[in-house]
Amino acid sequence: MRVAFFVHRFPAMSETFVINLAVQLIERGHELSIMPFVREPGIGAQMHADIRAYDLDKRVLDLEMPRTAMGRLVHAPVMVARGLIGTLPAQALNPFRFGRRAASLRLLYESRTLRRQPPFDIIHCQFGTLAKPALQLRRVAGLSGKIVVHFRGFDISKHVKENGRHVYDRVFQEADFFVANCRYFRQKAISLGCPEDRIDVLHSGIDGSRFPFRERTMETGRPIRIATVGRLVEKKGIRYAIEAMGTLRRHGHDIEYTIAGDGPLHDDLVDRIRQLQLGDCVRLVGELTQAGVTDLLARSDLFVAPSVTSRQGDEDAPINTLKEAMSMGLPVVSTLHGGIPELVEDGISGHLVPEHDADALADALLRLLGASETWPLLGRAGRAKVIRDYDLAAAGDKLVSIYERVMSQ
């Protein structure tokens, strides 16, 4: 099969699931192209070894659109002329039909790039928000292939709240198939009008062999090492975990809390750490590579994923870093939020607490600190859950079967 991934950015530090699926297709012998609407050159190999190992940078379709307004202005007369004389689709210049994507010439540049490509069998939009431009390109540039739309989180939560529950009406009518990365988001899509018989669940899988299991035990003579990995945005709920660490300190526990990630709330979180006088035990270490995340998890005792629904309505699926921590045997504490309860079985593979509740997070952590004999049991159950339900190879097999089913329709 010839498959094209439509993505917002490539590579993106927080979207290793795109790289994982790309590798699964390549290993099964399929042809893959990656079409990012924003290119991030120069960071790929440092971010994830598979980008280099599978030459993913060479599979990127460059839209060849000048980055600066001046560059676009210089090229505009030629591009418009090509549209008007028919060597490029003239309707791509119609702002009344296609809005800013036409007015900025973006649709024309994209059409030029895609017209140079052999036909695709599948166009896989890695987020629901990419379905509209993909459908426009199918109408304008004759983009071939069945369109599969993937709902992953903000696209079926925040995007809907901001744009209204009818934002996907045309997408549900015109796209060929839909997948969601958890049952929770599948049901949300159906409630918005997605045909129930044209949407399946495809879990975001991980390769368990890359996250080796080790039973955790409480070691004397050093602090308890607790970790969180995630973007520093409201949805990740990290401020509540920081406040919970203050409670642990007041109970006399010697802890070391490491937060890996970057984002717009960095300065706010630094201020909160200072206010709570936790600077000696809470560290913000910035964004880590995949290897850096694995090393952090290997050195940690417990993992916290305090996700919350943001004020803009943004929600999380079962997040990959939580799966990675569970695969490596870490007891986890997370929240009754989004798709996370599909991954973490409360009291079996970890503990779940209400959203937006620092006291509840602290209580769950205190229970773990007071019952370290349960850590190996929780760790083994977590590893078994991830291997059973979130195996990357199984996700790759299911992805191919979905494509084959769509192509046969």
Whether 172 maps to a domain, the answer reads yes
What pLDDT is stored for residue 108 in this prediction? 76
Whether residues 200 and 244 fall in one domain: no
Whether 81 maps to a domain, the answer reads no
What pLDDT is stored for residue 74 in this prediction? 59
pLDDT in tens, 231-247: 999 999 999 999 999 99
Whether residues 281 and 338 fall in one domain: yes
Any idea what the Cα angle at residue 326 is, between residues 361 and 217, rounded to 5°?
A: 75
Collapsing DSSP to helix, strand or coil, 211 comes out as coil
| Low-confidence residues of the chain: pLDDT under 70 | 38-47, 63-89
Whether residues 298 and 151 fall in one domain: no
Whether 72 maps to a domain, the answer reads no
What pLDDT is stored for residue 321 in this prediction? 95
Whether 107 maps to a domain, the answer reads no
DSSP string spanning 223-266? Answer: PEEEEEES-SSGGG-HHHHHHHHHHHHHTT--EEEEEE---TTH
How high does pLDDT run on average in the chain?
91
CA nearest to 406, candidates 176, 194, 201, 199:
176
Whether residues 164 and 223 fall in one domain: no
What b-and-e string marks burial along 86-107, b requiring 16 or more CB atoms within 10 Å of the CB?
A: eebbebbbeeeebeebbeebbb
Q: How many domains are there within the chain?
A: 2
Strands across the sheet containing 224-229: 282-286, 255-260, 224-229, 302-305, 332-335, 350-353
Whether residues 228 and 124 fall in one domain: no
Neighbours of 313 (CB within 10 A): 15
DSSP string spanning 143-202? Answer: --SEEEEEE-SGGGTHHHHHH-TTTTHHHHHH-SEEEESSHHHHHHHHHTT--GGGEEE-
First CA to last CA distance, the chain: 15
H or E stretch covering 352 = strand 350-353
Whether 76 maps to a domain, the answer reads no
Whether residues 319 and 238 fall in one domain: yes
Cβ distance 257 to 282 under 8 Å? yes
Whether residues 285 and 363 fall in one domain: yes
Q: What is the CA 177 to chain-centroid distance, rounded?
A: 20
What CATH number did the domain enclosing 170 receive?
A: 3.40.50.2000
What pLDDT is stored for residue 63 in this prediction? 65
What pLDDT is stored for residue 65 in this prediction? 65
Q: How far apart are CA 99 and CA 103, in angstroms?
A: 6
Whether residues 166 and 215 fall in one domain: no
Whether residues 157 and 278 fall in one domain: no
What pLDDT is stored for residue 81 in this prediction? 64
What pLDDT is stored for residue 262 in this prediction? 95
Q: What is the pTM (predicted TM-score) of this model? A: 0.89
Structural domain that includes position 402? 2-61+117-205+391-408
Whether residues 276 and 322 fall in one domain: yes
Whether residues 216 and 179 fall in one domain: no
Q: What is the CA 113 to chain-centroid distance, rounded?
A: 26
What pLDDT is stored for residue 78 in this prediction? 59
What pLDDT is stored for residue 67 in this prediction? 64
Q: Which percentage of the chain shows pLDDT scores above 90?
A: 73
